Amino acid sequence: MIAVTLRDIDGRAASSGRRWPANDATEDLVQPAWTGGGSISRTVGRLYATGSDGNSGACTATVVGIRTVITAAHCVRTSVKGAPARAATWDNDLCFVPGYQNGTGPHGGFIVRRVRMAENWQNDGLYVAMLEMNPGRDGRNLSEVTGTQPISFLADASGPAHFFGYPYTDRVLHCPGDTTWAPGKALLRFPCLMGMGSSGGPYVSGDAAAEGTVVAVNVSGDGNASYGTALGGFAQRLCQQSESG
């Protein structure tokens, strides 16, 4: 059994009128902006965090349950050089802004209640975190506001797919492509580069991008491609725990 680490966070709902701190690119985007609407425009958003050193950052995340958001593990923890994964420090002030666009959250902001991830989260296939969200200020669960993006833990994640992310841009970007298994790695290779901030962004299977199914989350990249963790039984277990509270 893979050890799960759990962090409870005491937070309240964020204001829907708040402008979110970001130094976003608005032109010369590294990839095209997503203009296809659908559930993607509501369920994918920016995840803000403050590291233990006080520096702020942002990743990408997706609504995949009644109260659950999925992202990459390093989006909520910061590694300690030379130390094992379980020694990583926890990030603070975790706040998710679905549909983030032009410096605002059209659906408001949601504070993370609880984080679930593997103790040894840097191991192959475990590089994922499930975030259980607090309700909004009006008492509604996140999915009642945004809807839910379908997710699969059993699908063959290779093949035609779409990658969505916020690489410090004022709107979500999009790449179509074919995912393949990276040689010598338990990671999916996606032939698209977005850069910092797109970590945690979903790889969505099939041709119907707007309503497609999340099969992996982006975790890294090199000079040629991006790489994601395919979702399997462990991610399913985390999601089930998050949904059951």
pLDDT digits (tens, 9 = 90+) for 26-80: 888 889 999 999 999 999 999 999 888 888 889 999 999 999 999 999 999 988 8
Torsions phi, psi of 132, nearest 5?
-85, 125
Query: Structural domain boundaries of the chain?
Result: 4-148, 159-233
Compute the radius of gyration of the chain from its Cα atoms.
16
pTM for the structure as a whole? 0.93
Instruction: Report the CATH superfamily, name and number, of domain 4-148.
Output: Trypsin-like serine proteases (2.40.10.10)
Name the residue type at position 27.
E
pLDDT of the residue at 21? 55
The Cα 76–Cα 131 span in angstroms is: 9
Count H helices, E strands: the chain? Answer: 3, 15
CATH topology match: 4-148 vs 159-233? yes
Based on the number of CB atoms within 10 Å of its own CB, is 53 exposed (0-12), middle (13-18) or buried (19 or more)?
Answer: exposed
Q: pLDDT tens, 76-94?
A: 998 888 888 888 999 988 9
Residue (of 131, 171, 134, 173) closest to 20 by Cα position: 171
Angle at 135 between CA 240 and CA 234, to 5 degrees: 20
What's the average model confidence in pLDDT over 93-110?
91
Instruction: Report the CATH superfamily, name and number, of domain 159-233.
Output: Trypsin-like serine proteases (2.40.10.10)
